[in-house]
Amino acid sequence: MIPMLDMVVFPGYNSRHCPLAFFAWKGKNDGAVSDFYSTPEAHMTNVNTPKCGCCFIISLDVLRALAQGQKIETADRATYQRAYATTQKLRLVREGHRLASLAGQQSGLALRATAVAKQPVEHVFDCKHGTTLPGTPVPDPTEPAFKTVFDTTAKVAEFYKTVLGRNSVDNQGMDLVSSLNYDQDYQNAFWDGQQMVYGNGDNKVFIDFWRSPDVIGHELTHGVTQHESGLIYEGQSGALNESISDCFGAVFAQWLADKPASDASGWLIGAGIMGPAAKAKGFTCLRDMVNPSAAHCLSRQPASYNDLDPTADVHENSGIANRAFAVFAQNLGGNSYDVAIKVWYDACVSGLSSRTTFVDFAQATITAAGKRGPTVAKAATDAWRTVDLSVEPPHSALAA
């Protein structure tokens, strides 16, 4: 068990980050994962979640529940305890990147208006199971793991360009940096504000985190959000931050595999990283955007706005907006990357506040949908009503 902590200061996580501090508190369990690896009475000391734009595919609730489980070998519990502690420490470095991105967005408008478009260049590194980032350069990424990450990241950049008209995560051709083999059996993947980082999992619950294209698309899209609205990673804005990454990650994977919106498998988040122990328990994915509360989800979520929990982890409440988008895309028919994701993207770049709420975002998506005609506006409105969030579209949208 991770011990109770007083204030702990990390004087410079690395040369790129500011001094850090965090405090301890008692947390709660994630129901689905506790059923998997824990008894109900198990409790684990949690570390307070800071108000920051952290970007991990696996939530702290899931890692905590796995770490406190009694149906797992001691070595495995220790692995998840380490992953929990590492993930929590890393979450603290993100607020500086979010604020810096927003400051650059404001101060660099004139420069960007006249700058010559730059094409993103990829860089791949090997952490060799250490934690120093970015790690050792891999100039010729031909080994399967590095090649897969290199090729999939290039496809994300192509997806941004051809589907959304966006030039990399910052829309200015930002280079894309990926580091593999982070830490020892690290149970996560994350965007740290500057680059992508992939752990290898324990090959029981999770396998290599780079194996699922939606995970790569999800995490890189946190970079998009960072450079647009800078949604604060708490409450409803944090849940929207997570949901936006799930939406774009899922649609990227559908685009890559040429799957229509009607294909249920295209809405599973993290299906490609589930290990044999998870599958043996019936868990086929982390999250299901069409059916967020399904028993096959390792991290179950509410499917209705009426069930939003203001105290829950942002990965939990994101299921509400996830379902709204999946329903919207399926209502339109065809491919989610033809119209649906473009509507969501238009809303994301429409000048959202960093404190955007579900109602705010629903209204932004309906307004964006209205610009594509009354049929699209009605599909968006109906999708939000499916999750019990009613926002009336502008009259002009319905009459368009």
Structure tokens at 205: 């619950």
How many residues are recorded in the chain?
A: 400
Which is the catalytic residue, given 17, 95, 97, 219? 219
The residue written with tokens 């989610």 in the block is 336
**Cα(341)–Cα(251) distance, integer angstroms:** 7
Dist CA 118 CA 174 (whole Å): 8
Q: How does DSSP assign 185-228, residue by residue?
A: T---EEE-SS-EEE----SSSB--GGG-HHHHHHHHHHHHHHHT
DSSP-derived pairing of the beta strands 8-10 and 20-22: antiparallel
From the list 235, 136, 214, the residue with the least C-alpha distance to 181 is: 136
Tokens, residue 192: 């740290």
Active site residue 219: yes
For the chain, strand residue ranges (E) read 8-10, 20-22, 24-26, 45-47, 122-126, 136-137, 176-180, 189-191, 196-198, 268-269, 287-288
228 is catalytic: no
* 189-191 vs 196-198, strand pairing mode: antiparallel
Angstrom distance (rounded) from CA 56 to CA 274: 16
Catalytic positions are: 219, 315
